[in-house]
Amino acid sequence: MKSGFRIVARDPDFVVCYGGDGTVLFAERKFPEIPKLVMKKSAVCRKYNYPLHDLENVLPMIKIGKFKIRKEMKLEATCKNERLVGLNEIQVRAKLPVYALRFSVSVNRRAIGDLIGDGVVFATPFGSTGYYKSTGGKQFNKGIGISFNNLQNRRVGSIVVSEDSVIRVKATRGPALVFADNNERPLEFQDDEAVIVRKSESTANFIYV
């Protein structure tokens, strides 16, 4: 490239993401922690992004080191020694959409039990304008957001807990699936099994010129 960079398939110094939110989530999953430069063609993806026509101006700035890295928290879910990491959110939902999930959620051992519905969403500040918002959550800047998806037996509003919280989800009538962002490979857990959700040690890094 005339900007002095070489396109590689492995071990990149940074990744250019051209697309919307889904592209950024996929890129972070494929190249975790590698700095991302987000380019856009529309206003769908709104964070840390630049219009595509600015690419020729942005790349030289990166080449001479005139940029900053902004870190974003990620979440991880563990179940039966398996782990998923998400930048936007972790979702727990019923495996079969024709049945409601009966479950409980505890935050630092404080429990909200006897919940019946489609599931629960745990969001990062980065993901608080995405699916979390569509399930009733409000945008926030710090912590972990919890929003309950279509509860049938109780009215429980969304809450935001501290980012060092340890959250435990237990299914009392499953089975249930755990999703991270747009990853098409969820974890499955059964009745009386638990999923632990917490802040990940991994962070997402975005280039900001």
Q: Is the pLDDT of residue 52 over 70?
A: no
| β pairing state of 36-40 and 49-51 | parallel
| Three-class secondary structure of residue 152 per DSSP | coil
What pTM did the predictor assign? 0.91
Q: What is the pLDDT of residues 55-85, one digit of tens each?
A: 888 898 999 899 999 999 999 999 988 999 9
User: What pLDDT does 11 receive?
Assistant: 92
Please say if the pLDDT value at position 160 is more than 70: yes
Q: Return the structure tokens found at 113.
A: 């039990």
The domain ranges of the chain are 15-72, 74-201
Rg, C-alpha atoms of the chain: 19
Nearest to 77 by CA among 174, 177, 205: 177
With bands split at pLDDT 50, 70 and 90, how would you rate the model's confidence at 209? confident
CATH class, domain 74-201, is mainly beta
What is the percentage of the chain residues whose pLDDT exceeds 90? 63
State in words which class domain 15-72 has.
Answer: alpha beta
Same fold across 15-72 and 74-201: no
